[in-house]
């Protein structure tokens, strides 16, 4: 079974911007029920279908599959809840780990989150200066919830 162990933080300041180049992501949710999500994403002209299980602490099962971009686009257009998640993702190496910074657009404009994937829940890591409050356990920051309750409506 594939497992994702991830910590999520708010981002402060702009010093991170000079550290990476962004890629446009567009994603939507076909289903979100009983803490299980089915997501469709287009990133860097590639389509993905992802199934994620319920979160337990910082971990959850995750199964991701490449799909044709035309299929992903059709699913985004016809099967996914609105609003779609639109963001630019920056990947930045820091302290031997890859941090993913998501700068949201559309209905979530103004929200900037950073995520770091770990090898185990107890892994120690260095926080960059541009990392703010941890929101790993705050479900309102899950992308699947941002699709239902966008940042612009908080």
What confidence tens digit (pLDDT) does each residue in 40-86 have? 999 999 999 999 999 888 999 999 999 999 999 999 999 998 999 99
pTM for the whole thing? 0.93
Nearest in space to 104 (alpha carbons), one of 26, 32, 42: 26
Can you tell me whether residue 76 is helix, strand or coil? helix
Where does the pLDDT of residue 1 fall: very low under 50, low under 70, confident under 90, or very high at 90 and above?
low
Where does the pLDDT of residue 144 fall: very low under 50, low under 70, confident under 90, or very high at 90 and above?
very high
Residues annotated as catalytic (active site), given as ranges: 29
**Burial of residue 95, with CB atoms counted within 10 A of its CB: 0-12 exposed, 13-18 middle, 19 or more buried:** exposed
Query: Tell me, which fold does domain 3-153 have in CATH?
Result: Hypothetical Protein Pfu-838710-001 (2.40.320)
CB atoms within 10 A of CB 21: 9
């Amino acid at each position: 079974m594939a497992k994702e162990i991830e910590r999520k933080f708010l981002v402060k300041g702009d010093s991170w911007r000079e550290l990476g180049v962004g890629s446009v992501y567009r994603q939507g949710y076909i289903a979100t029920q009983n803490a299980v999500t089915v997501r469709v994403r287009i990133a860097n002209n590639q389509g993905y279908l992802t199934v994620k299980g319920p979160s337990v602490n910082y971990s959850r099962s995750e199964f991701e599959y490449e799909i044709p971009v035309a299929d992903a686009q059709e699913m985004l257009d016809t099967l996914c809840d609105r609003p779609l998640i639109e963001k630019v993702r920056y990947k930045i190496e820091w302290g031997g780990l890859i941090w993913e910074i998501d700068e949201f657009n559309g209905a979530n404009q103004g929200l900037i989150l950073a995520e770091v994937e770990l090898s185990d829940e107890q892994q120690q890591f260095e926080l960059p200066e541009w990392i703010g409050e941890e929101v790993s356990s705050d479900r309102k920051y899950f992308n699947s919830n941002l699709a239902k309750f966008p940042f612009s409506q908080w």
